[in-house]
Chain A
């Protein structure tokens, strides 16, 4: 890619990351953990996996060095 095209891709990536990791439908993850067909643990999680940055800003994940 030309230098100009690289720069364009870089700034477009900023907008993409904002949207894909910070936007979109947010699902409350509902998981029932079953082992050997026996339901054992029901876990309700908001945005089960989100970007570390978003999770930290939402307070769902501690910042490095802080206690839970």
Chain B
């Protein structure tokens, strides 16, 4: 069994044991399926792997734990989405994902919406993920614009004292793998 790690444009050269399996001008990066449960360290190692690969080029991370029988099965599984992957890769190229969460009382919801709207303008794309927080946002930000984005988060925090805001990243584009 092998695990699917990421979809790439075929130019990335991963280190063993990760293999790039080509399909129609793109590639699916595969690794031997991991044994045992996913604990924090395992997930951080996957994250480090994806970050190192991202230095080489655009990729779409595959959900953790996606296991198929073999490389032929991997190609079969990804081939039908080939064009959508190509569009998504073009969309994320040169950008990273930043997370912004904001917690606060119920009446802070409008403020959270304003925070999201303000940050969305600074990003190539933005989406609100679900969760208990007033805001759990994911933002696709040009690499060169990350510092400005973080500075904007700082300004928004000072402006909206009723919210407690946390920004983390950069992350691979987990939330932007669907072609728009």
A and B, direct touch (CB closer than 8 Å): yes
Contact (A30, B73) CB under 8 Å given A11-B166, A24-B61, A48-B66:
yes
Given the interface contacts A20-B174, A21-B64, A50-B63, does A27 sit within 8 Å of B4 by beta carbon? yes
- Residue ranges of B at the interface with A (Cβ–Cβ < 8 Å): 4, 6-7, 38, 40, 43-44, 46-47, 60-69, 73, 76-78, 85, 97, 99, 101, 129, 131, 136, 138, 166, 168, 171-172, 174-175, 177
Structural contact, A15 and B168, CB atoms closer than 8 A: yes
Give chain A residues whose Cβ lies under 8 Å from the Cβ of B66.
25-27, 29, 47-49
Contact indicator B7/A25 (Cβ below 8 Å): yes
Residues A1-48 near B (CB distance < 8 A):
11-13, 15-33, 47-48
The A-B contact count (CB < 8 A) is: 104
Assess whether A51 is interfacial by the CB under 8 Å rule: yes
Could you jot down 19 A-B contacts, CB within 8 Å? A11-B166, A15-B101, A18-B129, A20-B174, A21-B38, A23-B61, A23-B129, A23-B138, A23-B175, A24-B61, A24-B177, A25-B62, A27-B68, A27-B78, A29-B77, A30-B68, A30-B76, A31-B73, A50-B63
User: Which residues of chain A come closer than 8 Å to B69, judged between CB atoms?
Assistant: 31-33
A13 to B64 Cα, complex, angstroms? 14
Q: How far is the CA of A25 from the CA of B62 in the complex (A)?
A: 4
